[in-house]
């Protein structure tokens, strides 16, 4: 491998994070959410690491589940968006996938399956997110009308819109609405994502869905011992000294105010590093912070290493990870850690490391 642009996946961190988040609610079951290729960390990688720990996995769409099955993952998989086409109901049954139902059309597709070939289903309740799910005042009718396709695997689920805000008024309202619905039925429930697992004890019921916290982003402020699961790194491929007054990169978006040492690093927006990162976005090189200068290019960035001693071609540069929080980089980029994780492109190899 000539180009040293890599995403190092820290196996021990993923295992630690699942354990830490699960231990917050020891009386609940926890599933690992590995949609979007495990938030960019490699769905198969993460599923293999959590074998024997996570009782179930969750993905967004059936295609993601089939990739896991092809890789030999056997645990039940919850498909959070349910079926997009009728044929996916048969695939779900064939591959031991649980479909989350949020429309009557989906329920009709399942009802039209042969009785002994119906996939297990969950029911999604819209308590205020207003994205997917059956309205609170229609769920009783749905349960009655489709009682024949429900089974012992059926769970009532909802999603909290403001779980990462401890001061939110919306979350107690959603929890109250969902509790009222759930009290009418004898189904297990699923409410909490990573932030809710940490902040909202009332949401820790049944199946907790552990997503972004599993990958080491701090989903909320607080003393939770989760660790970065990805270190994105590259290396210096060129060095030059420019005089004060000269500019760097496309559009001459940064101009040196002093004689400056500029390092070119082999990563760009084609690798998933955000093009909209501004001047001053931090990186780590040789144990010191340096700053992005000039626009992010397709395959390269430039950083000011004037104050970093003894920088050489080939030196490793950390874009985020163990020494630089992905949340800090996301704040500079005006986005969230979820986006940074999931946008890392396929040309960046994921390398799983055990300590």
**d(C-alpha 281, C-alpha 164), whole Å:** 25
Which 3 state secondary structure label does DSSP give 30? Answer: strand
Query: Any bridge partners for residue 236, and if so which?
Result: 265
**d(C-alpha 69, C-alpha 43), whole Å:** 11
Alpha helices in the chain (DSSP H): 11-24, 35-39, 43-49, 62-70, 87-94, 104-111, 139-145, 170-182, 194-199, 326-333, 337-342
338 near 328, Cβ under 8 Å?
Answer: no
Residue of 39, 250, 273, 289 marked catalytic? 250
Active site residue 250: yes
**d(C-alpha 261, C-alpha 259), whole Å:** 7
182 near 162, Cβ under 8 Å?
Answer: no
In sequence order, the 6+-apart residues with CB closer than 8 A to the CB of 130 are none
Residue 246 CB burial class (10 angstroms; 0-12, 13-18, ≥19): middle
Which 3 state secondary structure label does DSSP give 59? Answer: strand
Q: What is the dihedral of CA 321, 234, 68, 213, to 10 degrees?
A: 10
Residue 315 CB burial class (10 angstroms; 0-12, 13-18, ≥19): middle
CA 85-88-93 angle, 5° bins: 150
Left if phi > 0, otherwise alpha if psi is -120 to 50, otherwise beta: which for 201?
alpha
Active site residues per annotation: 35, 250
């Amino acid at each position: 491998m000539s180009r040293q642009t890599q995403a190092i996946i820290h196996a021990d961190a993923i295992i630690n994070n699942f354990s830490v988040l699960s231990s917050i609610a020891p009386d609940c079951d926890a599933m690992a959410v590995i949609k979007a290729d495990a938030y960019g960390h490699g769905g198969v990688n993460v599923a293999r690491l959590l074998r024997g720990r996570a009782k179930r996995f969750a993905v967004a769409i059936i295609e993601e589940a089939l990739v896991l099955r092809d890789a030999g993952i056997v645990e039940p998989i919850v498909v959070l968006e349910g079926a997009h086409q009728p044929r996916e109901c048969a695939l779900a049954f064939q591959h031991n996938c649980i479909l989350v139902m949020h429309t009557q059309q989906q329920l009709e597709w399942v009802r039209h399956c042969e009785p002994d070939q119906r996939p297990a289903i969950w029911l999604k309740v819209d308590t205020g997110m207003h994205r997917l799910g059956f309205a609170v005042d229609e769920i009783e009718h749905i349960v009655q009308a489709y009682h024949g396709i429900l089974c012992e695997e059926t769970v009532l689920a909802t999603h909290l819109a403001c779980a990462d805000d401890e001061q939110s008024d919306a979350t107690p309202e959603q929890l109250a609405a969902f509790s009222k619905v759930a009290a009418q039925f004898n189904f297990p429930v699923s409410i909490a994502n990573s932030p809710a697992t940490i902040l909202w004890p009332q949401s820790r019921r049944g199946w907790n869905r552990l997503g972004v916290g599993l990958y080491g982003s701090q989903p909320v402020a607080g003393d939770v011992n989760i660790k970065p699961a990805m270190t994105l790194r590259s290396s210096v491929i060129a060095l030059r000294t420019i005089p004060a007054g000269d500019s760097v990169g496309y559009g001459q978006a940064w101009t040196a105010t002093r004689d400056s040492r500029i390092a070119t690093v082999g990563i760009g927006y084609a690798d998933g590093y955000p093009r909209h990162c501004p001047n001053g976005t931090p990186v780590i090189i040789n144990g010191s912070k340096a700053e992005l200068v000039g626009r992010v290019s397709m395959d390269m960035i430039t950083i000011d290493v004037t104050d970093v001693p003894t920088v050489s071609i080939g030196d490793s540069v950390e874009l985020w990870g163990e020494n630089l929080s992905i949340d800090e980089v996301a704040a500079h980029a005006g986005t969230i850690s979820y986006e940074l994780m999931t946008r890392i492109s396929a040309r960046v190899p994921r390398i799983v490391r055990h300590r």
